[in-house]
């Protein structure tokens, strides 16, 4: 379901499955081995893997459960060998997860309830989208501006959204987009952040 690379060793890869298992390759994908059973349960869909640019031993995974609003954020400080679930996001269906390129301590998660942000590498989380919103919920994709971590994009089952002030205010960026579009991926050009793909 997901891939990630060690930022300090491009041949060191991680792979997330739909059964809670994470695999690892030290040889650019030529061979794989089971690394860990995240959450010790076989129904976790590991859709998002974020490896800390500053400390590759620190990995954060977002998980959800098929046919259920369950899921959570899992953190490893041992290169994925062992994991703990973060209590503040326990039971949340994590559909998207991204780190701010300018500050790896800033993480943004998209859930069925909205958009959450952590400023301490995933230990504590706060809802930054309007609570109970019937518009900005069911978030399937997240992207953070490469220069300004307060600029965040969120794709939902309805349309894409944007904040330029860290979640205080959100605008619907739907001009030119078909109404009721499911936005499953958002990419901000790392060299030219004014160019965004979804």
Q: How far apart are CA 162 and CA 154, in angstroms?
A: 6
Residue 40 region by backbone torsions, left for phi larger than 0, else alpha for psi between -120 and 50, else beta: left
Q: How far apart are CA 135 and CA 119, in angstroms?
A: 25
Q: How far apart are CA 40 and CA 156, in angstroms?
A: 29
The burial class, CB within 10 Å (0-12 / 13-18 / 19+), for 172 is middle
**What is the pLDDT tens value at each position of the chain, 198 positions in all?**
999 999 999 999 999 999 999 999 999 999 999 999 999 999 999 999 999 999 999 999 999 999 999 999 999 999 999 999 999 999 999 999 999 999 999 999 999 999 999 999 999 999 999 999 999 999 999 999 999 999 999 999 989 999 999 999 999 999 999 988 999 999 999 999 999 999
Q: How far apart are CA 91 and CA 148, in angstroms?
A: 30
What is the pLDDT at residue 46?
Answer: 98
What is the pLDDT at residue 179?
Answer: 86
Question: Coil, strand or helix: which one is 95?
Answer: strand
Q: How far apart are CA 149 and CA 131, in angstroms?
A: 21
CA distances from 31 to 27, 28, 194 (A): 7, 8, 38
């Amino acid at each position: 379901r997901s891939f990630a690379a060690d930022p300090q060793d491009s041949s060191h890869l991680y792979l997330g499955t739909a059964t809670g298992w994470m695999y690892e390759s030290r040889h650019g994908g030529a061979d794989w081995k089971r690394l860990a059973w995240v959450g010790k349960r076989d129904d976790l869909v590991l859709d998002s893997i974020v490896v800390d640019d500053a400390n590759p031993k620190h990995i954060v995974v977002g998980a959800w459960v098929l046919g259920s609003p369950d899921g959570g954020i899992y953190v490893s400080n041992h290169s994925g060998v062992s994991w703990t679930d973060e209590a503040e996001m326990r039971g949340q269906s994590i559909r998207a997860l991204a780190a701010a390129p300018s500050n790896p301590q800033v993480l943004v998660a998209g859930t069925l309830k909205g958009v959450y942000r952590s400023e301490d590498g995933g230990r504590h989380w706060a809802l930054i989208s309007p609570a109970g919103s019937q518009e900005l919920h069911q978030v399937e994709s997240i992207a953070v501006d490469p220069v300004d971590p307060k600029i965040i994009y969120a794709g939902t089952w309805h349309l894409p959204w944007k904040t330029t002030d860290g979640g205080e205010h959100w605008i619907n960026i739907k001009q030119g987009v078909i109404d009721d579009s499911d936005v499953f991926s958002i990419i901000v050009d790392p060299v030219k952040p004014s160019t965004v793909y979804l």
